[in-house]
Amino acid sequence: MDKKTIRDIPKDQLKGKKVLVRVDFNVPLNEKREVTDDTRIVMSLPTIRFLLEQGARVILVSHLGRPKGGPKDELKMNPVALKLEQLLGYKVQKADDCIGESVAQMANKLKDGEVLLLENVRFYPQEEANDHEFARSLASLADIYVNDAFGTAHRAHASTAGVAAFLPAYAGFLMEKELESLGEKLNHPVRPFLAILGGAKVSSKIGVIQKLIEKVDVLLIGGGMSYTFIKALGYEVGTSLLEESMIEEAKKIMDMAKEKKVNFILPDDFIVAAEGKEGVPTQVVAWNQIPANMGGFDIGPKTIEKFGQAIMKAKTIFWNGPVGLFEVKSFSTGTVEIAKKVAQSGAVSVVGGGDTIAAINQAGVANAITHISTGGGASLEFVEGRKLPGVEVLQSK
């Protein structure tokens, strides 16, 4: 960790100062607009509390969802402010915007040890465009910038990177923990080192698969991406998710794994159905016998057993992505069972990605996981060896 953290700011330079903290409060909400998983909020609390205890005036900025085309009522930060207030035990002021005169007035009225949460920063397209003037407007609210949003550190946005051109920039405790945990545990793993990759597409994880093949002893593939590999082996996959354009790439990956002597394990069986909806009849079929009019939506019992045996032998585990259509209850069993097996393994375990974390929580095994990463895409790009814009802009020690 060669970046300065908030510990490196002299205490007398924090008291009375306005600190703009980029947090990752992109949390799931239900139909009643209640926060259903507060993991990301909870993990930001040490940084927020530290700053408040030093007498700083804390201004929090985050995005929520993908509000393309401007503000959307259902993606306002109000329920997040409510949840944060409950967890923090402090009054949290909530702004109706993230820049502008009214926000500046609220920021200027803050007293030492008070908190202000800005409105969803992605209500402005200038955020994702990393617009220089928009970044300047955000930065004008504060004296110091802290990035504690590892989950968005792979994005060069105004609030994750642009503001650092105007303010001294430091890492928060969560950012520090993420970088140290991922770096130490995955770059210097206790072997055997096993990785589990799930999720929908091979294309989105091609770089990390290639990188992991150079690092791991065992690679388990589940989720929608597994069907592209099965098609690459010459078998039909029915109506399962398939990336035709990635079939040749999938063949190369399997050849690469063979060459590197990596144990590359695909599912033995699947739960198939006519469509991925609750209440639809399902059946278990062998990996190479998926009916033409059905698609695979979860791994089957033989695969859970097979993956489990490999997991139990591992000493280090990296897991990113569900192994089935986890958000539909009928197809969540495989992912939840894998979560339990990772927890039971006793291995050093690093888990990342929203659905993967949800599975860990649903299985009730979060306490048995060594490190739960708040960043799905960011953790993948870190493992891949890419530079993260939100980290690069922080001051070096």
| Catalytic residue positions, numbered | 40, 201, 354, 377
Separation CA 240–CA 231 (nearest Å): 10
At 300, is the secondary structure helix, strand, or coil?
A: coil
Q: Which two tokens stand for residue 88?
A: 């923090």
Residue burial 1-31, b: 16+ Cβ < 10 Å; e: rest: eebbbbeebeeeebeebbbbbbbbbbbbbee
CA gap 71, 120 in Å, rounded: 8
The angle subtended at Cα 383 by Cα 377 and Cα 387, nearest 5°, is: 75
Peptide bond into 192 cis (omega under 30): yes
**77 vs 25: CA distance, rounded Å:** 9
How far apart are alpha carbons 109 and 186 in whole angstroms? 45
Q: Are 294 and 274 in contact (CB under 8 A)?
A: yes
Return d(Cα 41, Cα 274) in angstroms, integer.
38
